[in-house]
Amino acid sequence: MPVANFPGERNWGYDGVDLFAPATAYGRPEDLKRFVDVAHQQGLAVLLDVVYNHLGPEGSYLPAITHGHYLTDRHHTPWGQAINFDGPGSGAVRDFVLRNALYWIEEYHVDGLRLDASHAIVDDSSKHILQELAEAVHGLPGPRRLLIAEDERNERRLLLPPDEGGYGLDGVWADDLHHQIRRLVAGDSEGYFASYSGTVRDIVETLRRGWFFEGLSPGETPKRRGTSAQGIPAPRFAHCLQNHDQVGNRAFGERLSHDIGLPLYRAVSTLLLCSPYTPLLWMGQEWAASSPFLYFTDHPPELGRLVTEGRREEFRHFSAFRDEAVRQTIPDPQAPSTFERSKLNWSERERPPHVGVLRLYRELLAIRRDHPAMRDADRDRWSVFALGEGALGLRRSATTGESLLLLVALRGEIFLPQQAEGDLVPPSGRRWLPLIATEELRFGGGGAWGRLEADGSMQLLAPVAVLLRAA
């Protein structure tokens, strides 16, 4: 999340105003440099979230000292006036943002940037600021630094090279899979979830593409959304089961593991970690952390009051919050207790049931790193398919012949006959044997996940995910 300095002592970071200064609430610039150095020593890259679509509502000095050139009324964002990338005086604004992106890389040695809400970076110039950012960052000497967009448009142009009419970014957050899975397993159906069916068929289609909407009209909305993902390598899409927005923008900061049982949580976690896309794991997800993640702020009293009222008003259109008294129970973003409740309890990683979930994540990540079939993400080396209305399969293969088959049973009982067909058929001369089953005792499960018969037939008792190897 962003570290650009903001007023107050606590904030998500998206209200930054001093874009070249690490937030004093977190420490000194030397501390950030030390953090990056230690991460590199451990073999970890560091990508930093940056916000170039708006400035914070308090303490933003740029418009005051630049004769209004940094903001424009020509475009608007959900946060008010847009950053001026294409109007009078925009040359200095563009240079400011370009220099800021390079500053974090050159001065702090971060390995890339995540561009917050790039769909709200509006630019009608002949060369979009996103393309100019990509050219500047990729032009630095040394290893390639990554630029990843958070973008809700399903826009392939973000990832295409400039000679194909694109901006040349390296990756994009693609939230359609999150929305489909949450609709199915947790029943979310209001707001933007209303545009998703949550059926196994559409989850499979989302996994095949990378995102779901490819020029389709979402629900009853006449506006068409999305472009084709054809030809874009799977690892360039970041998929998640939860992130700071999807959890923190819920009224009570509920994690997915708060809303569904752990057997189902382990099953969908396995699907995420075994897919060919880049998995985004969000703080505490790997052990099903018990703490919520709430929206918290530290604004002056008058602005804080408006933020609190606005936060509660946002939920008026949801059926659970139509009553004013219920809306008043939504935690106050300004209260210090809201921030304190959002902190992780790291000690629970050593206790059931969290320790079992953590063990599952660690073993799946090791398989993802080491198994040849998992390392090959070319689109012709994997397939995904529905198994009725309650289950799906994912097959991964390596050019050397190794194969893995993931079966995810979400509802009901699944029976696979002896005479398998299509992607369920093991490689010639081999048979499928269990490698991991999410209901094993060591992962906190009940121990029973189904039966594998001597003739090769299989029965799965949902919810469970079973990863099979061809042996």
The H-or-E segment that residue 238 falls in is strand 237-240
Judge whether 150 counts as a catalytic residue: yes
Residues 471, 459: Cα–Cα separation, whole Å:
19
Token pair belonging to 326: 């219920």
- State the catalytic residue, choosing from 116, 152, 155, 245: 116
Give the residue ranges of DSSP H helices in 139-252. Answer: 176-186, 200-209, 244-248
Judge whether 453 counts as a catalytic residue: no
Half-sphere exposure (Cβ direction) of 247: Cα atoms closer than 13 Å: 27
- State the catalytic residue, choosing from 49, 150, 170, 298: 150
Under a CB-based contact definition with an 8 Å cutoff, are residues 17 and 61 in contact? Answer: yes
DSSP code at position 225: B
Residues 357, 465: Cα–Cα separation, whole Å:
13
Residues 272, 243: Cα–Cα separation, whole Å:
13
CA distance to 229, 282, 335, per residue, from 198 (Å): 20, 22, 36
SS3 track for 93-131: HHHHHHHHHHHHHHHHCCCEEEECCHHHCCCCCCCCHHH
Under a CB-based contact definition with an 8 Å cutoff, are residues 119 and 153 in contact? Answer: yes
- The residue written with tokens 């939860």 in the block is 242
Residues 186, 203: Cα–Cα separation, whole Å:
14
Residues 402, 78: Cα–Cα separation, whole Å:
48
Token pair belonging to 184: 């199915």
- Residues identified as active-site: 116, 150
